[in-house]
Amino acid sequence: MKTGIKIALSLALLSSLSFGGEQFAMSDSDRAMYAEMLENNPADIMVANGEQLLGNLGGEAAFAKYLGVSEDKLPEYIAGFPRYIEKFKMVVGIDQVLQAMMHDAGEKPFKLKSSDMFDMLAYTKSLANGVKSNIDIDANQHMKDAYALGQKTFDTKRGGRGLSCLSCHAPAVIGSVLRTQPLPDLSSKGVAVAATWPAYRMTKSSLRTLQRRFQGCMKNALLKVIPIGSPEMVALEVYLTKQAEGTEIAIPGLKR
């Protein structure tokens, strides 16, 4: 009986939501208030930790040298990740390059899914702050393949509910309200996700990366979670980074 009432109540709420999505959405002035928080983003501490960790490996000079790029070209180069790197014979994210660099320096690499790696990745990507995201998916066949795999991963329906990333992030449903939150436009016309991750997640009180966010999304939509750094995950990052092409990189971002 009690459950019956609960369901009735929920349905009543639900139907009110269907007409009143607006009342749950934040106003522009509310958004501006949150944007002000970017100035003193709690993730600044995590990024500072990342700077120290990269410093232990020789800092950005060592990172540039490891990639065979001159230091003044490094920001532009970072803004083009994920990239195909000949040395690894695969398309990789910044975090994987950092892992390899740690390994070659004789250190035990941080796990891809660890807060130290998230911090270091955030700092490294922040070196490209202000530079426009410039991923080149036509650079070679590997990048073309990665883009295609990324799109496939994005579009493929999986899991118990038969959902794909596209189910909630297709142009036709952008802006509709799901669980009281408007569904975001992930492209450069909207939030340009790839340019603003790693970011501070307010609901998690921690710094998260784009691939870690994909995992959270998959888990909630009941899709089997794909490991960080796997070809599909990197491909997904390639696909979404392409959508954010031309957007200025601003790390760390700030997310709900």
Partner 1 sequence: MQRREFFKKLGSAAAITAVIPMMSFAADAKKQAGPNEFSYEKALDVITGGKGAKASPKVSLKAPAIAENGAVVPITVEVESPMTESDYVKAIHIFATKNSNSRSASVHLTPANGKAIFAARIKLGSTQDVIALAEMSDGTFLTATQSVKVTIGGCG
Partner 2 sequence: MERKSLIKIKPKKYKNGDVVKINFMVMHPMETGLRKDKKTGKIVPAQYINNVKFEYNGKVITTINVWESLSANPVFTIYMKIDGPGELKVTFTENTGEVNETSTKIKPKG
Q: Which residues bind partner 2 (CB under 8 A)?
A: 37, 39-40, 42, 44-46, 48-49, 200, 202, 205
Q: Which tokens in the block code for residue 138? A: 């036509």
| Residue 10, contacted partner among partner 2, partner 1, none, CB below 5-8 A by kind | partner 1
Residue nearer to partner 1 on the CB measure, 26 or 105? 26
Q: Minimum CB separation from partner 2 for residue 47, in Å?
A: 10
Please give, one letter per residue, the 3-state secondary structure of 136-175: CCCCCHHHHHHHHHHHHHHHCCECCCCECHHHHHCCCCCC
Question: What does the alpha-carbon distance between residue 157 and residue 70 come to, in Å, rounded to a whole number?
Answer: 43
Strands 253-255 and 199-201: parallel
Q: Which residue blocks in 161-221 are alpha helix, DSSP H? A: 165-169, 193-196, 210-220
Find out whether the peptide bond into 227 is cis, omega within 30 degrees of 0: no
> Three-class SS of residue 17?
helix
Q: Minimum CB separation from partner 1 for residue 248, in Å?
A: 23
Which residues from 154-183 bind partner 1, rule CB under 8 A?
160-163, 167-168, 172-173, 175-181
């490209």: which residue's tokens?
Answer: 128
| Residue 61, contacted partner among partner 2, partner 1, none, CB below 5-8 A by kind | none
| Residue 168, contacted partner among partner 1, partner 2, none, CB below 5-8 A by kind | partner 1
Question: What does the alpha-carbon distance between residue 233 and residue 150 come to, in Å, rounded to a whole number?
Answer: 8
| Out of 166, 191, 217, 250, the residue judged to bind partner 1 by CB under 8 A | 217
Residue nearer to partner 1 on the CB measure, 10 or 230? 10
Residue nearer to partner 2 on the CB measure, 23 or 52? 52
The binding site for partner 1 (CB under 8 A) comprises 6-7, 9-10, 13-15, 17-19, 21, 24-27, 29-30, 33-34, 36-37, 160-163, 167-168, 172-173, 175-181, 202-203, 205, 213, 216-217, 219-221, 256
